[in-house]
Amino acid sequence: MGAMTLHMTLSGALGALVTLLAATNSFADAASEVFQIPFTTDLDVLNSSAGNLGPDGPWQAAVVMMGTWKRTSLSEPIDGGPVLPMYPSGLNFLQVLTTEGGGEYNSTNASAPYKQFGNGGNNDMRLIDLNANHSTEGAVVIDSVTFVNNRMELPGYSNANATIYAMNASTIHFPNGRSYVPDVGILGLGRPGDAMDLPGTSIIDQMKAQGLITSSSFGLHIGSAAFGQRGSLILGGYEENRIIGPVATFKNIVGVPLVFLVDVNIDVEIGRWPFNASEIGSIWEGTTDEYGQAAVKAYSGKNGSVIIDPNGAVPGIYLPGPTCANAAKHLPVRYDSTLGYYLWNTNDPTYPSIVRSGAYMGFVLPDTDAKNVTIKVPFTLLNLTLDSPIVDTPTPYFPCHDVTSQQNGYWELGRAFLQATFLGVNYDTNLTFIAQAPGPNMNQSVVHTLKPSDTSVVSGPADSFAESWRPYWTALEDAYGGSGTSTAGAKKPLGAAAIGGIVIGVIAGLALALIGWFFWRRRQAGRALAVEMDSQEGEGMAAKRDSKEYSDMMPEMGGGQAYPVYELGPSNVAEMGDSRDKLAPSELESPVKLNEAPGSPGVYEMPVHHSFERGMKR
């Protein structure tokens, strides 16, 4: 979808939303404590493809109006600047394409430029995508923007002055010579002065000063456009139903929501193990990147961990090598060097088994309390699509990239990761919250306000993760033909140790059966001998009975009636496979490698470190 068409669609849809609110008088009278930013998928009433942003998605983005718009009545239609889609991020500036560069933003009314960036190089203000060759030209300016509240509360909108990187040119280049101009901007929610020498005040701080939100904070879940799970961006709070299980808490580094990553593993939540390997476990090898190691040391991170930026501005998952290559060994993918992507082999029989099952990549984050929290990103969400102009026909791809830190000391987990992750930031307490987000079958929305002093968020039970995905996963049949739907764990093929244990058990069972048979035969033989002796003795007694001497001594016994000999009755000893009820075969648990690294005893306090801060200026 072109920039002009997308702008017209979003402007019309946003206008329809405001008109609907006015017609139904559905704006709340009470003062607002939170502010909900609409997503492109909230405005898809007029055009169902509005949320399908690409060409490496599908993605959905927040909706922002450029310029100032003031309502004088609830029935007044929107008549402001262009309505643009922007990917939410913890960055501290907005990034948009100007009309000069082929976009919709006109910077005529903006302030004089504070900084100029030219020559079309990969300058510090480019889209922060460690895998992309992205060249830009433009200037940093201050200009007005307008936000519409999706919660239908008065006043229903907010005007703010934003720090904007206005790009007069922006192009992403690929190894095969293709390129494209990204027409989706970036909505930076951070504070401009924290990590970069930029002018202005954060959007969130301005909304707090206006009394529209209680705290300088936000809660974000990107959601999944492919599965119809709409995104959630709450300023001043968060949606409780977007948080599952334990929450990892981190101190912000130079005002930016950065976290530590200590392990990456592959596992299955429910259903049968779909991979060819009997077990996979951890695919993490840490890093030898000197800048990454220096950054971890500077901020008291655990040995073997790296610093990660959970960044909605970028599409993929960018990790120190060979993490993605290790994952690819167990997946039906191939690396296309002309594109720079792992492509799914859709003809491989394991492909549907993996992307439709409960298999996931787990990202282990050690927080400030040295507690390991694992974020599970299902392969269902890692089955994304490349489209034109990157490729000629839609092509499924695996969005994982092995990269260096490019002398910045950190890596990035982008929208592919944030589809399954809750990201919350409270700038008043300087804390970042990371937690598991649900699948599309999530619970009803419950919005919480984050207070300026809050150091925690409310979450739902951990077992609701599997339930939130159950309608969308095909729980494969287990190895013995039964249905593998238990959330207690996936059934895996038997490894060598498990097979050895079964063999030993069978041999032991046969030995016991043989011993039992031996003693049973001895008992039978003894019984037969006793019967034979009784028979011989009976013949002698019969001779005596016929004699007159014996007849005079004993009464007659019924004319020599024969008494039956009672042999040993039916045995209760159960031989293998004989009279006992057959038990359903059960698998022995194969040895499981430790997926989560042990918690660090240290508390990660993150003081400002100037060399790393310079690395953040990108």
Task: Give the pLDDT confidence of 94-117 residue by residue, as tens digits.
Answer: 999 999 999 999 998 899 888 887
Classify residue 315: in a domain, yes or no.
Answer: yes
Interval 575-602: pLDDT, tens: 444 444 444 444 444 443 434 433 333 3
pLDDT at 242 over 80: yes
Classify residue 394: in a domain, yes or no.
Answer: yes
Domain that holds residue 179: 3-489+596-616
Categorize the per-residue pLDDT at 535 as very low, low, confident or very high, splitting at 50, 70 and 90. very low
Which range in 178-182, 492-496, 560-564 is most confidently predicted, on average pLDDT? 178-182
Mean pLDDT along residues 125-132:
63
Categorize the per-residue pLDDT at 459 as very low, low, confident or very high, splitting at 50, 70 and 90. very high
Angstrom distance (rounded) from CA 148 to CA 69: 10
Classify residue 542: in a domain, yes or no.
Answer: no
Under 8 Å between Cβ of 429 and 444: no
Residues in Cβ contact with 569 at an 8 Å cutoff, skipping those fewer than 6 apart: none
Classify residue 322: in a domain, yes or no.
Answer: yes
Q: Is 116 left (phi over 0), alpha (psi -120 to 50) or beta?
A: beta
Q: What are phi and psi of 415, to 5 degrees?
A: -60, -35
Q: Which of 58, 398, 47, 83 is nearest to 228 (CA)?
A: 58
Classify residue 564: in a domain, yes or no.
Answer: no
- 108 vs 476, residue with greater confidence: 108
pLDDT at 23 over 60: no
Q: Which of 427, 424, 426, 412 is nearest to 220 (CA)?
A: 424
Tell me what pLDDT residue 567 has. Answer: 41
Angstrom distance (rounded) from CA 213 to CA 160: 13
Classify residue 541: in a domain, yes or no.
Answer: no
CATH code: domain of residue 119: 2.40.70.10
Mean pLDDT along residues 2-9:
51
Number of domains comprising the chain: 1
Classify residue 518: in a domain, yes or no.
Answer: no
Mean pLDDT along residues 491-516:
45
pLDDT at 466 over 80: yes
Classify residue 520: in a domain, yes or no.
Answer: no
